Structure 1
Amino acid sequence: MPPDATATKKRLLTAAYHEFAQFGLAGARVDRIAEAAQANKRLIYVHFGNKDDLFDLVVANSLEDLAKAVPFTADDLPGYAGRLFDYLLDHPQVLRLTGWSQLERPDAPPAQVDAYRPKIAAIADAQQQNLVTGAVAPADVLALLLGLTTAWANASPALRSLADQPPWDPDRLRTHRAAMTAAARALTALPPSTSGNGDTGQPRTALTP
């Protein structure tokens, strides 16, 4: 009976996750991944193809894990932003992996594109239901929301050093989280109805001056 490869594949994926998060695609070494997984290097190519394929799989798996842990709620985008902020604090490797992916794999793999499609569709549906402002296109809503969520992690260390408390102090993070979710609420809120100018607060599909 052939040996079960499941445990070996799991060890290789875990080792690759940490290797790619630390060194990126170009800096990662297959030898180190195999050594950390206590596996033969040849098995990486047998199970996953080349190093680029393994990297794409690791990134896709990390985003899938994130989506399962933090379900997307288009009817409560500020709440989603807060939960995503918490998850990324606990899993900083995810941000590092996506950062490396943007630098080294600028042509997004189809799996990553497909991961965004239902979120964009959900935002569009929420706009039609007057739950989210329609003054901003759905893709822009999501891009701005993710930018707010990751702003502190992606801010310059020089800027973070000027905070009123140590930048990663739990109290400081709570303060930033509250400010971030307030900004997300302002971003996604319906515009107030204005009498006399024909603006009823209904969804629109583009920015207006």
Structure 2
Amino acid sequence: MARDGADPQTRILEAARTEFAAYGLAGARIDRIAKSAAASKERLYAYYSDKQQLFLEVLELNLREFASDAVLTDNDVPAFAGALFDHGMLHGDHLRMIDWARLETDGTWLPALEVMLGYRDEQVRRIRLAQTAGRVDASWQPVQLMTLIFGIASAWVHEPGAVLAHGGPPPDVTAIAVRRANVVRAVERLIAPSVAAQN
């Protein structure tokens, strides 16, 4: 439901985030968004010309939040993978929005794409610094390694059993902690400098 005290546009964006994450672009309904935001459809269309514009605005907002929340620091790539996992657990709707955008848009979501490409390039630069510092196996191409880290961190979100069981009871705190530890351990092993390189 709409957040008390928020301005109408903020309420609309918050309601749209929930609606689009659940139903995608095609399945979302403007009337449900307006009702949840305690706003009229006329007010919504005063801010956004159509449903796709609102969808792309939500996508860009989500990606900007993601880009500021999960950042590689101190050459600590395993901790970065843990942060990616944490964000996915707390904001599963962000990952679902990316999936919906891939499936339902024609590739014209340029502002959101620019956000993600800028984010990716910055993390790749930081991986190179970690390689220079001897914290990451230098034989990895940083762009390729970045893709693998994302895959490991989001493995449980996209694992077929988890996807098909969406809507069921969420995993408990212990299960989430075990999954996170496995993500961090997998990335630690992935990036470990080879013995040959150390000699």
Cα distance in 2, alignment partners of residues 106 and 135 from structure 1: 36
Residue 135 of structure 2 aligns to a residue whose secondary structure is: coil
Deviation at 1:159, TM superposition (A): 10
- State the 1:140 CA deviation: 1.2
**Which residue does 1:32 correspond to in 2?**
32
Matches of 1:24 and 1:72 in 2, distance apart? 30
By how many angstroms is 1:47 displaced? 1.8
- Maintained 8 Å contact 1:160/1:167: no
2:100 corresponds to 1:96: no
Say whether the 8 Å CA contact 2:70–2:84 is kept in structure 1.
Answer: yes
Question: Is 1:168–2:166 an aligned residue pair?
Answer: no
Alignment gaps of 5+ in structure 2: 1-5
| Equivalent of residue 130 in structure 1, options 126, 131, 134 | 134
Unaligned runs of 5+ in 1: 1-5, 195-199, 203-209
- RMSD after superposition: 2.7
Residue in 1 aligned with 2:20? Answer: 20
Structure with the bigger percentage of helix: 2
Counterpart selection for 1:185 from 184, 188, 194: 188
**1:125 aligned partner, one-letter code:** L
**2:166 pairs with 1:148:** no
Output the TM-score relative to the length of structure 1: 0.78
Closer/same/farther in 2, CA of residues 9 and 123 from structure 1, 3 Å limit: same
Contact 1:74–1:119 (CA under 8 A) maintained in structure 2: no
State the percentage of identical aligned residues. Answer: 32
Check 1:25–1:150 CA distance in 2 against 1; reply closer, same or farther (3 A cut).
same
**After superposition, where does 1:108-119 map in structure 2 within 5 Å?**
109=110, 110-119=114-123
For normalisation by structure 2, the TM-score amounts to 0.81
Is contact 1:70–1:83 with CA below 8 Å preserved after alignment? yes
